[in-house]
Amino acid sequence: MKVTLPLKEMSVAEKIGMMEELWKDLSSQAAGYSSPDWHGHLLAERKRLAESGEIGFTDWETAKREIQDRIR
């Protein structure tokens, strides 16, 4: 089934609401879905980089503040 949405006519709030509805439906059916192989490869590489100290992490509050500073 092909569904066409009037995206250009929808507000940001309406689009986010639509995404939330889709996510709620998709997440209720998670057992029927397998992640693609590249997800596992990417996660393994990120784990390796973190364990080697090549990358670090930022706590969520700091990350949000940094993102907000960049878009202002």
Kindly report, residue by residue over 19-51, the tens digit of the pLDDT.
999 999 988 887 778 889 999 999 999 999 999
**Residue 30 confidence (pLDDT):** 73
Report the pLDDT value the prediction gives residue 21, as an integer from 0 to 100. 95
- The pLDDT value given to residue 72: 83
What type of residue sits at position 72? R
How far apart, in whole angstroms, are the C-alpha atoms of residue 50 and residue 35? 22
Q: What is the pTM of this model?
A: 0.48
> Nearest to residue 55, comparing CAs of 44, 66, 46, 42?
46
